[in-house]
Each structure stands twice: as structure tokens, then as C-alpha cells.
A = this chain, B = another copy of it.
């Protein structure tokens, strides 16, 4: 087993560029989601959407450790991963608007994204599928003697599905280069983990029992995630056997849709609980680290944010103006 990767020291000046690049990505993902959620309320995006606000650090940290030629899969809450792997806000927005220029040409909607050009192969709405498909891509890399890695992003609920264990067992057996990334946000829709999985039996513990290497990272700290992901990737490239990365994080908005739960009177979790996690916001954390390290000043970071927001708004507007698919092409691409 390769030695544990050193935590990234934010104070070391050679890391400043990394800090800023990560922050930029965090801002891009965060503000894309916020802008899309805002726009979603106008009922012009007709596709059930699971926003990832609050969970950005996992996607950004992991994807920063991957090469473009590595591939990623995701589940229903996939925007973060699509964007962090290199997908464009414009094509994502167009997909949500149901436009022909959408990344899936308006056929897939929010839960079925793709962009092969940046290695984001597919997201899928059925629990477990992303994990199976990523395992299969890793099998392809093993058979084809390719040095690539396949990654699957998914939530804590997948650990209830049989496919989860079938994949772990197979990947461990066949020594496949697959990185499983579990965003453990404590909930599946409105059900807390405690009523879904055995008490005290943590997900990583179950995974480790297959002989799969597990790493836990603080999911709201992008540097911690990057450190863990680099460790995982190094291990995957040398040992070629699966790694499971579990990141504790939290979803801010409702399960599906653009609102806060309290706005709709839902009580399955308290406003305090949400607020507590908002205090641990990955963007705030990253910003604070940069300021503390002196890697940039407030004004630079503010400008970074406004610039990004402007680009995002332009992307969304451009997508909105794009044409609908032609109903004559309803039967395109069945085979």
C-alpha cells in the first residue's frame, strides 16, 4: 500500500494556485446550481431536478484528482459531478430547458446527463446503476490494459441496494481500477440513515469487509477531499484495485426541487440542522483557507465570484434561447 498522502498545506505558497483553482470550481458549481434552482422556480425546466447545493466539495475535490481520460458516472443528484468533471453550464442548462443543444439533446433531463468529451459518461436515475456501470468501465480498462480509472458518485442510500455489494465483491475479486465515491448526506429523500441501515454499522466498515480499501474524508472541505482523492488515485494507479471514498456532507435544498424544505413546511429535519451545515459551507471554508494563506485577497475572490456568476447567467440565457428538439426526430437514436 502506498504511503498516506500528505494533507495539502494551504499555507505553502506552491499550493496557492491549487487553492484558487479549486475555489473557482467550487464557485462555478455552486453558482450554477443556485442560478439553475432560481430559474427552475419559473417552471420552464420541466424535469425533476435534484440540486447539489452544499455538496460541491466532493465533486470538485475528487475530479481535481482525476485525469480527463478517467471517466465518471453519477446518480440522480449529478449536476455537481457533471460540472466538476468538465461539463459545461450551458449544455446542462439547455438540457434542463429541454433544448436540442442540451448535453443529452433534451432526451434525458436532469437525471440523465452525459459529456464524453470530458469523461463524464452518464448519470442515471435508478439507484445502483451508476455504480454498476462504473465497475464495468473499470473492467474494460483492466481487459484493455488501459491505465484509466472509472469513478462512480452516489449517495448513502445505494448501500441498501444489492447492486452495491455485487459491485464491491466483483471489483475486489477482479482487482478493478474503480473509485467509488459515496456522498453520505445522511438522508434519502426524507428518511435519515438511522431508519434505513443497521445501527452502528457504518458504510465504509461494510465496504472494507470485502477487502476494498476505504478512505473517509471531511466532505465539506475541498482540500481534505482532494488529499483523499489523490491518495485514492495514486493507489488505484499503482495497485489497480478498488477504493471507496466516503465523504460526509449535507444537502441544503429539498430532495427534488429548488426550495428549502422549511419554505414548504417540511419538518423531517430542523432549520437548525440545515443552518449548522450551512455554517460548514464548503465555499466559505475554501475562501477562508485562501484568505488565511494569503493566496488572494477578498476583492479578488469577490471578483472571481461575480465573473463566474456573469458567465453562468449568460450560459443560462443562451441555453434558454436555443431551439427545441424537432418532434420529427422523436425516433432518432433508438439503436
Interface string of A196-233 (1 = CB under 8 A from B): 11111100011011111000000000000000000000
A141 in the interface, Cβ–Cβ < 8 Å?
Answer: no
Q: Find chain B residues with CB under 8 A from A163 CB.
A: 162
A166 at the B interface (CB under 8 A)? yes
List residues of chain B with CB within 8 A of the CB of A166: 160-162
How many identical subunits does the complex contain?
2
Q: Which residues of B contact A206 (CB under 8 A)?
A: 206, 209-210
Minimal Cβ-Cβ distance residue in B for A171: B198
Residues of B within 8 A of A161 (CB): 162, 166
Contact call B201/A172, Cβ cutoff below 8 A: yes
A184 to B: closest C-beta gap in Å: 15
Q: Does A164 contact B (CB under 8 A)?
A: yes
Note all chain B residues with C-beta closer than 8 A to A201. 172, 209-211
From B196, B208, B211, contact of A173 by CB (8 A) = B196
A160: B residues at CB distance < 8 A: 166, 169
What are the 7 closest A-B residue pairs judged by CB atoms, nearest first?
Answer: A162-B162, A172-B198, A165-B165, A209-B209, A206-B209, A201-B211, A198-B211
Given contacts A164-B165, A198-B212, 19 further A-B contacts (CB under 8 A): A159-B169, A160-B169, A161-B166, A162-B162, A162-B164, A162-B165, A162-B166, A165-B165, A169-B197, A169-B198, A172-B198, A173-B197, A173-B198, A201-B209, A201-B211, A205-B209, A206-B206, A206-B210, A208-B209
* Cβ contacts A to B, 29 pairs, < 8 Å: A159-B169, A160-B166, A160-B169, A161-B162, A162-B162, A162-B163, A162-B164, A162-B166, A164-B165, A165-B165, A169-B197, A172-B198, A172-B201, A173-B195, A173-B196, A173-B198, A173-B199, A198-B210, A198-B211, A198-B212, A199-B211, A201-B209, A201-B210, A201-B211, A205-B209, A206-B206, A206-B210, A208-B209, A209-B209
